[in-house]
Amino acid sequence: MKTKTFSYKDDDLAVKVTVAEATVLQGIKRMQLRASGNAIAIQEMDDGIPDASARALLRRYIYPDMVAGTIEFKGIWNEVELEWPIDFELLLTLPFKFQSNWENAVYEVNPYWIPGEPDPKESDESPTTSTNDSPTGSKPGTETTT
C-alpha cells in the first residue's frame, strides 16, 4: 500500500498527516461522507448560508477524500490538540496552504479520486470475455481427438 506523510507548521498550526492508497473500507467511508455531505450542502443552499456553493464543493468532494484517505493525523492548533476526524467547520478556518498540501497528498496516492478523473473500473480496457466453454481452449466443434 502506498503512503505519503507530510508535515505543516506555521505560527498557529503544527500538523503531521499520513495518507494511504485506499482500502475498500476507506472507499466506503468516502462514499458515506460524500452522501452525508451532499445532504448537508443541499440544506445549506436551501437555507441561504453564505458561501454555500463553495462550502458544498469542499463538503461533497474534497473533505470526504481527505478524511477517508488519511490513516494518521496529529496536530496542534493554537496550543490545542486537534481531534480526529477534523471537524468540517474547523477545517474552513485553517490555512489554505495546509489544506492544499493535504488534498494533494491524498490525490497523489489515490489519483482516481481526483474529481473528474476516470474511475479505474471504467477504464477504456474492456475485460476479456470468452464464450468458449471448452477446457482445451479450442472453439466448440473444433476439438480433435487422437
H-run or E-run covering 13: strand 13-20
- Cα distance between residue 10 and residue 137, in whole Å: 64
Give the residue from 11, 17, 9 showing the smallest Cα distance to 106.
17
What residue has cell string 500500500? 1
First to last CA, the chain: 50
At residue 131, the pLDDT reads 41
Q: What is the pTM of this model?
A: 0.79
State the pairing for strand pair 13-20/70-77. antiparallel
Q: Is 99 exposed, middle or buried (0-12, 13-18, 19+ CB in 10 A)?
A: middle
pLDDT tens digits for range 16-74: 999 999 999 999 999 999 999 999 999 999 999 999 999 999 999 999 999 999 999 99
Under DSSP, the state recorded for 121 is: G
**Residue 120: band (very low, low, confident or very high) from pLDDT cuts 50, 70, 90:** low
**Cβ-contact 22, 108 below 8 angstroms:** no
Mean pLDDT value across the chain? 87
Give the residue from 6, 58, 31, 42 showing the smallest Cα distance to 119.
31
CA distances from 140 to 127, 129, 143, 145 (A): 22, 16, 7, 13
Amino acid in the structure at residue 110: N
